[in-house]
Structure 1
Amino acid sequence: MKPVLLDNVTHRHLRVRTERSAALGDARQSALALPGEFRQLQAHFPIVFQWVETDAGKGGFQPIVLFGLEEGQNLFLTHKGWDSPALPMSLQRDPFLIGRAPDDGLQLHIDMDSPRVVRPEEGEVGTAIFLPHGGFSDYLDRLVTLMEHLHAQVQHLPVFIEALTRHQLLEPFVLDIETTGGEQSRLTGLFTINEERLAALPGAALETLTREGHLMPIYMQIASLAQLPVLVERQSRL
């Protein structure tokens, strides 16, 4: 990864490939999902939680959408492109990132190592980032709005996870899968919300979860598990 500050002079001729393919990094089993988009995503993908270790040796839960049942498998990626009307924000933002300015303000960076970046010598493939005279393209305008929303959601995520862990709502689960060849496999290392524990919470706790905006994404995560059999069915078509 090579993130650099985006500017309309150095990068005025850069373009971005927005289609979906394995060559552009989309052959992945999962992607970060944020609570504010659970309502949209739950109709198309299973939303689960995984434990993620940090560089500092600490760790925490992170919500993800599942695209496949095996490492590197994306059952929504076809030879025609992306086979779903929904796409998590964490994928939409590629190849852009949010950085910090010296005054602690937010800056937009671009990963120059991303296969989505098209340099001038590669021709006019992809979508322009800037207009010929340096202004933002419609694409970049939409991207900035997306990044602002994504950043706000990322800031809210630890609060959501803290609420789940405070009420001990997360539990591990496994998914047993039978391949088309008749072999048995098991998907492990994932967590979901314990419905019985949620239902047993006192009214005051539920009221607090509702007031803090957590209850809706909790129910959306539970509803998304209906997509697990759909994912298995997609795999059976392979």
Structure 2
Amino acid sequence: MRAQIQKIESKNRRAKSVLPFGIAELDSRLPAGGLALGALHEVAGGGNGAVDGAAAALFTAGVAARTKGKVLWCMTRPDLFAPALAQAGLSSDRAIYVEAGDDKTVLACFEEGLRHGGLGAVVAEVARLSMTASRRLQLAAEQSGTIGIAVRRWRRQTEATDFGQPTAATTRWRISVLPSTPLPVPGVGRARWLVELVRCRAGESADFTLEACDDTGRLALPSHLVHGSGQKEVRRRVASA
């Protein structure tokens, strides 16, 4: 009976596919081994990043950069730094920026972009995301096969508690800045993030220490984790999540 219901519900939907991160420890925590395309995802910054949204935006840019086609980015605040997105793999010739007056207008543009069906990804910076709005966005993404990413940003740190409210998003991520990769000489190494998979439909929560996106949009495991000593620590954090 469940199989019949699932078949009926998915009759008019495109076949689902995924976008792997290329990191086995991360992809193994996601159903089908990657980030679902044709779905809605949420990304927020941890700590002070809940207001500035810098790490969350770069993480999102890395995901969008690895899709095919133009990327629609909707926002209310004109503080997006395009050269930084390019360093995370999302070049300016692929991005279409839409500045709207409020969250309601941003969500309308977000939904319209997802329904278009000809874009590689649609990104929207929003503070509030209700269950009703997120369901509409999830449905639009499923019907078109386009990945939608809601970058949650708030005006004040105290408003970030809204991130705990339920939505219809397939995954929910929190990205926090960590000290950069140490170098053998004075200087600033590759940025590091604490990447938390806060919620995953049909999956489990987990968190990872990763090097930030390179110019192809790809994350990487720090070298000490690649060579084994840190992998046990990652597994322990996952088990306790």
TM-score range, shorter chain: under 0.3
Which is greater in Rg? 1
Q: TM-score, normalised by structure 2?
A: 0.26
Q: Give the structure-1-normalised TM-score.
A: 0.26
Does 1 or 2 have the higher relative contact order (CA < 8 Å, sep 6+)? 1
